[in-house]
Amino acid sequence: MKTSILKNKLVGFEFPIYLWRLLQFISVSIVLIGIVGLFIQPETTLFFIWFVLIPIIPLLLFVSPGLWRNLCPIAVINQLPRMAGAGENIRVPPWFVTHSGIISLCLFVLIVSCRKILFNDNAVALACLLIVILLIAMFMGIRYKGKSGWCTSICPMLPVERLYGQGAFIDFAHSHCQPCVACTKSCSDLQPKSQRSALPTHNQRDKKPIPYFACFASIFPGFIFAYYLAPNPIMSDWLEIGRMYSYFVVFCSISACFFFLAKLLLQVSLRRMTIFYGAAAFNIYYWFNASLISSHFPLALQYEADIAIRISAGFLSLLWLLRAYRKTVYISSNSVPIYNNTRSVSMQILPSEKSSKRLKPIGS
């Protein structure tokens, strides 16, 4: 049997499937060890999660969301039933497909905002959250076909993956679906460019309602501002909790107003506005996190580390912005009617399926 090879077309590296499986095993092990650690060493584990792991993930998504999607431990858990041949392979219902974007957006906002109330300091609550997410992901993997029940539908990280995927530096081939089961239309694993095809270009009229993706992009910078500027309430103090959420409402509203006013007054396309807001969100995140990360450096190096992190984030986002803009120009010049392009590679019948559907001669 030949070893399955996954080739990255941009950098030319070849990745044997067993290497991906090893890396996926390590990522799942880290999460499981983290859950155990939250019970037996809560302070150390909370520090490792919030100050080591979490600050790395936005950078990974910014550079290569495809790499994250290959290594995401929740995605691995979601795909375990399929690998074991235990999945029911049911297609998700139409209502689920229609509303999955809103569900993922709401889950992201709810979970991140609840960090300030509960998950930042309560190790048991964070462990329970991780366990519940893993169980839901596994159930959706058992119930529904391929990744359609979680990764490409209601995953809370999906809006961020799509936003940062517009200017990704490296597109990795997917490693989970061997073979592809055509579970999702415009799958971002099979077609990384589909992340850039969710919005109309400047030469296409916005005849459809504003996509949830654009709505998420419009509030994302304000959401990050609110997270770092809002007070940290006590769980029992409902007045402080309400005050905290008022920060989110105000900052997200201001962010969305600037987004849609710029689109209306400057005639900027949704695609280009989401690109600009994606870069802005990345810079805002590391502007606030730079001081948190540098605080763990030796005292003599903290100031230099703080400045270096912020400058590096700005430079990287500028390169990302240029890449995303050039890809936008390329898509626009081809004038592909995105909303009318209902066919997708991920939904085409695979060669193996075509051969199995050929009509047999009478009498055979």
* 156 has pLDDT over 60: yes
Which range scores top for mean pLDDT: 12-16, 123-127, 330-334? 123-127
Question: Which pLDDT band, with edges at 50, 70 and 90, does 210 fall under?
Answer: low
> Which pLDDT score, from 0 to 100, does residue 6 have?
44
Question: Which pLDDT band, with edges at 50, 70 and 90, does 148 fall under?
Answer: confident
* 275 has pLDDT over 50: yes
> Which pLDDT score, from 0 to 100, does residue 54 have?
94
Mean pLDDT of 135-157: 91
* 49 has pLDDT over 60: yes
∠ CA(67), CA(73), CA(76), 5° rounding?
Answer: 90
Token pair in block for residue 53: 């792991």
> Which pLDDT score, from 0 to 100, does residue 243 have?
95
| Whether the Cβ atoms of residue 127 and residue 40 lie closer than 8 Å to each other | no
Percent of the chain at pLDDT > 70 equals 80
Integer Cα distance of 36 and 50 in angstroms: 16
Rounded to the nearest integer, the mean pLDDT of the chain is 82
Rounded alpha-carbon distances, angstroms, from residue 278 to 15, 135, 164, 165, 220: 29, 31, 6, 10, 8
Integer Cα distance of 122 and 126 in angstroms: 6
Q: Which positions ≥6 away from 363 have C-beta within 8 Å?
A: none
Mean pLDDT of 120-128: 96
> Which pLDDT score, from 0 to 100, does residue 191 have?
64
* 81 has pLDDT over 60: yes
> Which pLDDT score, from 0 to 100, does residue 320 have?
94
Q: Would you kindly state where each structural domain of the chain is located, as residue ranges?
A: 7-349
